[in-house]
Amino acid sequence: MCFVGKTINGQFERVYSVFEFFVGNDTIFFNGPDNFIYTPGQCLPIVYTKDNPEDARLDLFLPLWMDTIMSGGVPVLILLIVFIHPDLVPYRSKIRITPHKPYVQII
């Protein structure tokens, strides 16, 4: 980690770590995920492709998978709550999903 960056976007404060690594004679900098602060000088695993080292990420679970969890896991969780909750979808009812309105029909 090189240093801690800080920006203020509207009402929200964004704190992040800035990382540097070397590829040949080049020094590459990239911003870490929000609110993950590491100590300066701490060595962390970094993954990148040889063709595009500017698109580097930390080789840790949350920095690699947070986008996938948010874009895929949250809708699945909402669908599970909707279909498991007995007041929203009655027990043994049939459900029809269509590409036009109404998208979900309880039969």
Q: pLDDT tens digits, residue range 78-99?
A: 888 877 777 777 777 888 888 8
Q: Are 1 and 40 in contact (CB under 8 A)?
A: yes
Total-model pTM? 0.57
The number of angstroms, rounded, from the C-alpha of 82 to the middle of its chain's C-alpha atoms is 23
pLDDT, residue 4, reads 63
d(CA 17, CA 98): 45
Residue 81 contacts by C-beta under 8 Å, 6 or more apart in sequence?
none
Q: Mean per-residue pLDDT for 47-64?
A: 89
Domain residue spans of the chain:
3-106
Q: Mean per-residue pLDDT for 1-20?
A: 71
Q: Mean per-residue pLDDT for 2-13?
A: 66
pLDDT, residue 28, reads 92
pLDDT bin (cut points 50, 70, 90) of residue 5 is low
pLDDT at 1 over 70: no
Question: If we measure between CA atoms, which residue out of 15, 17, 24, 62 comes closest to residue 42?
Answer: 17
Q: Are 36 and 16 in contact (CB under 8 A)?
A: yes
pLDDT at 100 over 70: yes
d(CA 84, CA 104): 15
